Amino acid sequence: MPSTHSWLSIPADSDFSLFNLPIGVFHTGDQRPRAGMAIGNHIVDLAAAAEAGLFGKRRFFVKIFTQATLNGFIALGKPVTNRVRKKVQDWLSLPQKPENASNILVERGKATMLMPIQVPNYTDFYSSIEHATNVGKMFRPDNPLLPNWRWIPVGYHGRASSIVVSGTPIRRPKGQILPPGGAPDTPVYAASRQLDFELEVAFVIGKESALGEPIPVEKAEEYIYGLVLFNDWSARDIQRWEYVPLGPFLGKNFGSSISPWIVPLEALKPHRVKGPKQTPAPLEYLKTKGAKNCDIALEVTVKTQGQDKETLICRSNTKYLYWSMAQQLAHHTVNGCNVQVGDLLASGTISGPTPDSYGSLLELSWGGKNPLNMADGSTRTFLQDGDTLTIRGWAGENGAKIGFGEVSGAVLPAL
């Protein structure tokens, strides 16, 4: 654990304490991407730190930290990535401000954040029992939770090319929609009328596996580098018409947003908790011991067009997830499917046990029946053009927060 004191002034309520040091990619207007670690209101420019000899092997690390993504750094493995993080913690904990500080620190407000990784593959799970049950109640009142749900971490392969960094606008998608009350043979081609968000957390694969070799559940976390906030934008009306029999397609693949900062799994160690009791007991390859979930508080806000004030619409927590990250990864690879550095595996919508903790507008408005009141006096059942949706997340308390910052996106009209 690092010292609780730094020569750098760090706001007590900052997401980015000495205990955190998430990593991302940024530039400062020069269009030259480089890696950095967030600390308070600043960024430690890792390329500049490498040039100053902070990590040894100066040329090697300068090259690593001036790449357009973090894939090359992450692929070095946890012994190296953890050592780099510890070196930065030690530098920030020196008794006095180092002489090279002004060359290494960048004000976060002057930085533009970029996609932190190149994503080779993306998988979305369905790991919240509350969310699965709520959706089931709307469409299958007599049988809300399908028989396989408690046995396997259900998932589907999504579209990696449309994953974008926070701040990137999302265009309202078009597709086939069955109008309310319409006969099965009367679909129309139109812009989605039920654009939604999904409150998720995704983990980044940091170690490749070999094709044909499953990852045992007890070793799964060796393959997880860190976590990001994730918004899997969803067009519910398009999805409803297309998902039988093969599942999500155009209703999902038009866009997903991630936070720019990756929080290392090691930073969350003090905030690991046991997940919900699993009944029936999982099959042997999915059985885990100890605290496999994380206690990460989550909140979602909507800001309507032309307004400065946000409306808080949801508070939830990753501790509610029925299936853990380790179980998701073990199941994903049990058939021999291999993973690659930079792969993203998302949790699926994270809903809690109370209506204010539901992680989608589909649930919050209960299919559009219960409009939500916005700060400007308007109401929402689903997102409208010009709305900006923001997800924030953090573990811990002020002074030692392990925060993710935010993932935000504004809705653009359909073309």
Q: DSSP letters of 75-123?
A: TT-HHHHHHHHHHHHHHHTSSS--TTHHHHEEEGGG-EEE--S--S-EE
Q: Decide: 61 and 55 in contact? Cβ < 8 Å.
A: yes
Distances (CA, A) of 392 to 64, 139, 230, 232, 302: 29, 30, 10, 14, 12
Question: What is the CATH number for 43?
Answer: 2.30.30.230
| Strand pairing category for 256-258 and 163-165 | parallel
Known catalytic membership, residue 131? yes
Q: Decide: 260 and 405 in contact? Cβ < 8 Å.
A: yes
Terminal CA-CA length for the chain = 51
Cβ–Cβ contacts within 10 Å for residue 370, how many? 12
Residue among 19, 12, 21 at smallest CA distance from 39: 21
Domain residue limits at 80: 23-114
> Does 165 map to a domain?
yes
Report which secondary-structure segment, H or E, holds 45: strand 42-45
Q: ω before 120 within 30° of 0 (cis)?
A: no
> Does 135 map to a domain?
yes
What is d(CA 213, CA 206) in angstroms, rounded to the nearest whole number?
Answer: 17
Same domain, 231 and 187: yes
Same domain, 198 and 336: yes
DSSP states along 344-409? EEE------SSGGG-SSHHHHTTTTTSPEEPTTS-EESS--TT-EEEEEEEES-TTS-EEEEEEEE
Same domain, 156 and 295: yes
Same domain, 71 and 210: no
Same domain, 36 and 143: no
> Does 250 map to a domain?
yes
Residue among 10, 1, 3 at smallest CA distance from 105: 10
Cβ–Cβ contacts within 10 Å for residue 136, how many? 16
Question: What is the CATH number for 368?
Answer: 3.90.850.10
Distances (CA, A) of 14 to 45, 389, 398: 18, 21, 7
> Does 84 map to a domain?
yes
> Does 13 map to a domain?
no
Same domain, 107 and 193: no
Instruction: Specify the pTM.
Output: 0.97
Q: Quick one: pLDDT at residue 1? A: 46
Q: ω before 413 within 30° of 0 (cis)?
A: no
What is d(CA 123, CA 127) in angstroms, rounded to the nearest whole number?
Answer: 12
Same domain, 75 and 134: no
Same domain, 126 and 62: no
Q: What is the DSSP letter of 147?
A: T
Residue among 169, 75, 161, 77 at smallest CA distance from 121: 161
What is d(CA 102, CA 305) in angstroms, rounded to the nearest whole number?
Answer: 39
The residue among 114, 131, 148 that closes a domain is 114
Total number of domains constituting the chain: 2
Give me the residues paired with residue 394 across strands: 297, 403
The residue among 91, 114, 137 that closes a domain is 114
What is d(CA 256, CA 192) in angstroms, rounded to the nearest whole number?
Answer: 16
Tens-binned pLDDT, residue by residue, of the chain (415 aa) = 445 689 999 999 999 999 999 999 999 999 999 999 999 999 999 999 999 999 999 999 999 999 999 999 999 999 999 999 999 999 999 999 999 999 999 999 999 999 999 999 999 999 999 999 999 999 888 888 999 999 999 999 999 999 999 999 999 999 999 988 767 778 999 999 999 999 999 999 999 999 999 999 999 999 999 999 999 999 999 999 999 899 999 999 999 999 999 999 999 999 999 999 999 999 999 999 999 999 999 999 999 999 999 999 999 999 999 999 999 999 999 999 999 999 999 999 999 999 999 999 999 999 999 999 999 999 999 999 999 999 999 999 999 999 999 999 999 999 9
Same domain, 65 and 133: no
| Token code pair at residue 262 | 């990756």
133 Cβ contact list (under 8 Å, min separation 6): 144, 145
What is d(CA 180, CA 377) in angstroms, rounded to the nearest whole number?
Answer: 27
Q: Is the dihedral of CA 332, 336, 337, 343 positive or negative?
A: positive
Same domain, 109 and 174: no
Same domain, 406 and 378: yes
Cβ–Cβ contacts within 10 Å for residue 134, how many? 22
Q: Decide: 240 and 178 in contact? Cβ < 8 Å.
A: yes
> Does 173 map to a domain?
yes
The residue among 79, 114, 149 that closes a domain is 114
Same domain, 104 and 178: no
> Does 403 map to a domain?
yes
Exactly one of 27, 42, 131, 157 is catalytic; name it: 131
> Does 3 map to a domain?
no
> Token pair 């299936």 is at which residue?
323
